[in-house]
Structure 1
Amino acid sequence: MACSTSGQSGSELETLGDASLCSVCFEKFKSPRTLPCRHSFCHACLSSAIESSCKEKETPAGFRCPLCREFTPGVGEQKKWVNRFPINDALVNILEISNSKLCGACKTEDEETPGVNYCFECKEALCDACTKYHRKIAPSRSHSVCPLNKAMDAEYLQPIMYKTCQEHTDRPVELVCNDHEQLCCTLCVGTNHRKCKSVDTLDVAAGKIKDSGMIQSLEENMKEYEQKLLRAKHSMEENMDKLDDAASILTKEMEKMEEDLIAHVRKAKSEALEKLGEATKTSKEKMNISTENIDDQIQCIKKCQQMLTDINTTSDMVKQVAEFFRTKQINQKLQSSRLNKILIMSKVKKGSDVCKIRKQLLFPTLELSEYTHDIYGKVDIRKATLKADVSFSVEDKQIYFGTFLIDGSILLPQYLSPPQAQCLLFNRNGKEIKRISTNHKPLSVCVCGNEIYISCGTGKVIIVLSSETFAVLRSMSTEKPCYGLDIKYDQLYVACMDSIDLMDKNGEMIRSYDVEESVECVIVNNQKMIYSNYAEHIVSAMSTSSQIMWTYESPNLRFPFGIEHDSRDNVYITGKDSNNIHMLSSEGVLLRVFDNIKQPWFIAIPPDDDSTCCICSNRGDMTIYRIG
């Protein structure tokens, strides 16, 4: 229904015909269920609304109220969501009472006393006298009583959620089963929860939740997941924008192709008509000349025939003999002359087959590939495989490190001396987007918010760029050559061959951790510094108190160099000389090995997508893989 949040006056209670109707089916309420937004609907109507709202969603998290559109989270199985909302029997009861407005207690004594108040527990109207005694008697002293003309107000009408047991609706909630995380009554504890190990009273359970920091922990967990969702949403919105851009570009190409095709057809038609006109004109001219010659001879014969007629009628014998011989000579000359009859035969030479042209794929198409990955990060990595998606090569190579930016692009420092020193930016399709020149040889890279940190190896410099404009924000000098680096909690961890130096974001030294030689890569994962020693073929994890937490080595791991971690704190190690990538848990336990990867120098994983990685082979051959 539409139980509005505004109250009803006494006069309005007399005309509550519409209020007794469900706003979905417009019929009298049948088992009305009330949502947290205080709107009520028939049980069946609400169930249908939930089903309709969720049918197109893969994993629905809730639904919107059919009336006010406020979002309501769903808990448990979707088909059972409707049962979790309380039945609002009071709604129908009040509407029935509003017709007579008689005190229910007095009616039992056959008295007709106007009711002025309403008791939600007793579900009946009360007169002034009964209300007074109702509030004095111990069993009904705690009942919710309000003026009858305000009983339709949402603050009164809203069912009391959670205070009664879901299994035994006539019993109050008094206990909490921690095993099932469920509120229950004393009867439930003796039946459904008799085998449960942890059952507390309400005050003890509430105290534990409040004092143990569980609320804060849950809030932090939800914020972390919210950030994953926001990043996923942002990524998909960007993807939609890119699809629109690609479709727009393709549309323009099609329109240009259409214009070119029309122009080409028109030009070809014009040229063909011009050739046709010229050929026809030339042929007709030849035939006209030939026709004129024949016509001359026809006229000549006719003239000679006239001369013969004149001979027969003349009496002049001299003229008769002379004209005869002359006509005879003309006839002999005509018949001895060479006269050709010209006939020009026409034959249509067939051009392009229009039917075949129509069947040909004239216009370019947009090829779409759909990839799905679990935002929750629940890929079974032990069974996962690497599937090559995109491959591309970097000219002049010299790529030892790389990282994904928040927009999904890949930043690759190219370890070349100035003026060739630069960082290359590629999109996920392997297309170069930008070249960023640097004054030092860029080696390793990591990202923190809107800043990009680039170490410069033996140059003893760390450059900080803007992740938006790629302009240099500042440069920081280091005491030692700086190689691989990572950033955590606004602190830089820099691999310096024989130490890992901890600095603030401005390059001020905080602490230096001594390590064995040949350490050029370091990451911070789960409050541990994890670094590789390519000379000894060992990977180690050190706490911030310099304690070695674990080490990993294997005959199948040679020249461990690049290190990366995913959102689940799994650690990826590139074995350059063993041509593989080892994957460890955060505790250093081997989970699996990805083999047949030629000379991998580094692996990079996007911050919002554990199902994608970029691997660099041979210091310049890049491959983007799908993990799944």
Structure 2
Amino acid sequence: MKWPRSKKMENYLITCNIHKDETITALCNGHSELCCSRCVELNHSQCSKVTPINELTDMQPTDLQGLSVELETVLGEIKSLQISQELSVQALLRTYKEHVAVMIEQMRGNLNFNIDDIDECGNSYVGTSGGHEQYLKEEMCRSVLFILNEFDNITVKELNEMRDEVISIKGSVTSSIHKCTSLHNDLSHFHEFVQKIGDNKELCLIASIKCKHIIQQALTLLGKSSKVFNVQSITKHNVRIPSDKRICNIGGICVLPDGHVLVVDCTNQNVKMLNQQYQVVSHWDVNARPVDICLITPSEVAVAVNDHDSKIHEVQFITVNQGKLVPGRKFQLQHECSGIDHHQGVLFVISSEELYKYTLNGKQVCSLYRSFEYKVYKCAVSPTGDRLYITSLWLDNKLHTLARDGTLLATCTDPALYYPRGLHVTPAGQVLVCINSWPNTVLQVGWEGKSKLATLATEEDGVRNLWSVCYSSTASSIIVGLYRDDNILVFRVE
């Protein structure tokens, strides 16, 4: 097959991604990057192996047919992701409208109740003087004003909070949809190219390398990265504050996009905010035992609060405002909770036996998974929301992977998963589990949830009493919370 007459396709392939007026001439093996002469001069002059493209054509195999099949598969997955994200936006807006309607209906109910109550009182005084009638009118006015003021002071604040959440989440999802569209276009181009290149060896090699890079970008966007973390260093940071009366127990961690870290201290019943040097800069005392935390928007988190003795089971929203933690609305749960996570307006709350799906206004949608004998403990959702991971304790000691509807997709039964505590999924889809047993370890599991990929740290590295885990994209670090310890551990990774 001959190369198509259009030069546009060929130029698209051979043009350097960084210097648009230069042509690709070499490959840096160390960085796996295609380079033009300016790239080599500016960025790869110290690299040990930079090889001209014409010298690689007989050395590196190019399976264009296999790449074509892979591109077609990824194209379909990107399109499905885009559709699901668009549906998420619609569901999010619907939830907000429903919540507004409920709040207004509650206000009407309160008004009607008070008016009926006053009417009933008035009927019992039929035939009394006009002075009493005037009193009833004034009482009715006072009741109505009180209800309207309550609506202004509490309900409007709550609706504004939720409106801001919806706007923020919608913006994030819309941005992700745009990335999907752009990547889908690039994948479509390459899918067309690999079928028309013919026998031009240099173009085949360049197309093959570029295809692999863009497929990797797509897999990262889909939360299917297979990259294994490599730990470079481990440091300790003290998170105890003067008001803490007991030794810390960090049950949950989340990282804000600006690099600040929020941790929940179960025993001292507070949420602490750490700066990028992992120093406590603010804290807020919770009314009961906080057990987990998740990100809602770039400046808001949700905290799962669970106290068996006082029967307090709730989700508390907290906003970061000018460096301070400010409590917002909350809603009650009809069950205990041990874990929480969020994806595009949907909350996933785990009790000792079930995984529940909630809307942001506290409406329980359904139960997605049920276990017995207090087995389920923590949950985490994949970046695309199509996979849910849950850890099982006590008699099970497994990691289960569920589909969006709760269907069981996979179960990891690796012996290293004995007593899994902390659970987290990175933005690229890497699954992290910390084990609180002998030996204490931090594990990375494949995004499919079927097998362990690597042991990132063990007791030989000085890690003990592991309780929670989270990844910081800003700092390229894994942060680990500890049980009965005033420190957190930070693993610098590549």
TM-score scaled by length of structure 1: 0.41
- Equivalent positions of 1:449-464 (< 5 A) are 449=297, 450-458=299-307, 459-464=312-317
Give SS of 2:443's match: strand
Hey, what's the Cα distance between the residues in 1 that align with 2:65 and 2:255? Answer: 48
> Contact 2:288/2:306 (CA < 8 Å) preserved in 1?
no
Give SS of 1:403's match: strand
Hey, what's the Cα distance between the residues in 1 that align with 2:229 and 2:441? Answer: 16
| TM superposition shift of 1:437 | 2.1
Equivalences, count: 287
Q: Which amino acid is the alignment partner of residue 476 of structure 1?
A: F
User: 1:489 and 1:539, CA in 2 relative to 1: closer, same or farther beyond 3 A?
Assistant: same
Give SS of 1:556's match: helix
- Equivalent positions of 1:196-345 (< 5 A) are 223=179
| TM superposition shift of 1:196 | 7.6
Give SS of 1:223's match: helix
Selected match of 1:543 from 389, 403, 406: 403
Q: Which residue matches 2:472?
A: 606
Q: Which residue matches 2:360?
A: 505
Could you say which structure has the higher strand fraction? Answer: 2
> Contact 1:445/1:453 (CA < 8 Å) preserved in 2?
yes
Hey, what's the Cα distance between the residues in 2 that align with 1:534 and 1:590? Answer: 17
User: 1:379 and 1:555, CA in 2 relative to 1: closer, same or farther beyond 3 A?
Assistant: closer
Hey, what's the Cα distance between the residues in 1 that align with 2:403 and 2:79? Answer: 25
Q: Which residue matches 2:291?
A: 443
- Equivalent positions of 1:448-527 (< 5 A) are 448-449=296-297, 450-458=299-307, 459-468=312-321, 469-513=324-368, 514-516=370-372, 517-525=374-382, 526=384, 527=386
| TM superposition shift of 1:483 | 1.7
User: 1:554 and 1:213, CA in 2 relative to 1: closer, same or farther beyond 3 A?
Assistant: closer
> Contact 2:272/2:280 (CA < 8 Å) preserved in 1?
yes
Hey, what's the Cα distance between the residues in 2 that align with 1:510 and 1:543? Answer: 16
- Equivalent positions of 1:425-436 (< 5 A) are 425-436=273-284
User: 1:389 and 1:486, CA in 2 relative to 1: closer, same or farther beyond 3 A?
Assistant: same
User: 1:421 and 1:567, CA in 2 relative to 1: closer, same or farther beyond 3 A?
Assistant: closer
Hey, what's the Cα distance between the residues in 2 that align with 1:599 and 1:507? Answer: 33
User: 1:225 and 1:425, CA in 2 relative to 1: closer, same or farther beyond 3 A?
Assistant: farther
Selected match of 2:36 from 54, 78, 101: 78
Give SS of 1:440's match: coil
Deviations 1:456-507 (A, max 9, x none): 1132111011133532220100010122100012000001110011100011
> Contact 2:231/2:491 (CA < 8 Å) preserved in 1?
no
Q: Which residue matches 1:409?
A: 260
User: 1:405 and 1:224, CA in 2 relative to 1: closer, same or farther beyond 3 A?
Assistant: farther
| TM superposition shift of 1:617 | 2.6
- Equivalent positions of 1:388-399 (< 5 A) are 388-394=234-240, 396-399=247-250
Q: Which amino acid is the alignment partner of residue 465 of structure 1?
A: I
Q: Identity, % of aligned pairs?
A: 14
> Contact 1:573/1:583 (CA < 8 Å) preserved in 2?
yes
Hey, what's the Cα distance between the residues in 2 that align with 1:380 and 1:387? Answer: 21
> Contact 2:79/2:180 (CA < 8 Å) preserved in 1?
no
| TM superposition shift of 1:606 | 2.0
Q: Which amino acid is the alignment partner of residue 615 of structure 1?
A: V
Hey, what's the Cα distance between the residues in 1 that align with 2:229 and 2:343? Answer: 30
| TM superposition shift of 1:404 | 1.1
Hey, what's the Cα distance between the residues in 1 that align with 2:337 and 2:407? Answer: 23
Q: Which has the higher contact order (CA 8 A, sep 6+)?
A: 2
Q: Which amino acid is the alignment partner of residue 78 of structure 1?
A: C
| TM superposition shift of 1:429 | 1.7
Q: Which runs of 5+ in 1 are unaligned?
A: 1-49, 65-74, 82-194, 199-208, 228-374
User: 1:224 and 1:467, CA in 2 relative to 1: closer, same or farther beyond 3 A?
Assistant: farther
User: 1:224 and 1:391, CA in 2 relative to 1: closer, same or farther beyond 3 A?
Assistant: farther
Give SS of 1:464's match: strand
Selected match of 2:441 from 566, 580, 585: 580
Q: Which amino acid is the alignment partner of residue 442 of structure 1?
A: P
> Contact 2:401/2:411 (CA < 8 Å) preserved in 1?
yes
- Equivalent positions of 1:148-159 (< 5 A) are none
| TM superposition shift of 1:452 | 1.0
> Which protein shows a greater Rg?
1
Report the RMSD for the aligned CA atoms in angstroms.
Answer: 4.0
| TM superposition shift of 1:453 | 0.2
Q: Which amino acid is the alignment partner of residue 603 of structure 1?
A: V
- Equivalent positions of 1:365-384 (< 5 A) are 381-382=227-228, 384=230
Hey, what's the Cα distance between the residues in 1 that align with 2:229 and 2:364? Answer: 43
Hey, what's the Cα distance between the residues in 2 that align with 1:225 and 1:626? Answer: 33
Selected match of 1:591 from 437, 443, 453: 453
Give SS of 1:482's match: coil
Hey, what's the Cα distance between the residues in 2 that align with 1:579 and 1:386? Answer: 19
Give SS of 2:230's match: coil
Q: Which runs of 5+ in 2 are unaligned?
A: 1-14, 23-32, 40-62, 67-74, 84-174, 184-215, 242-246
Hey, what's the Cα distance between the residues in 1 that align with 2:400 and 2:348? Answer: 15
Deviations 1:181-203 (A, max 9, x none): xxxxxxxxxxxxxx9869xxxxx
Q: Which residue matches 2:272?
A: 424
Q: Which amino acid is the alignment partner of residue 437 of structure 1?
A: D
TM-score scaled by length of structure 2: 0.51
User: 1:62 and 1:584, CA in 2 relative to 1: closer, same or farther beyond 3 A?
Assistant: same
Q: Which residue matches 1:627?
A: 493
Q: Which residue matches 1:178?
A: none
| TM superposition shift of 1:427 | 1.6
Give SS of 1:540's match: strand
| TM superposition shift of 1:389 | 3.9
Deviations 1:240-293 (A, max 9, x none): xxxxxxxxxxxxxxxxxxxxxxxxxxxxxxxxxxxxxxxxxxxxxxxxxxxxxx
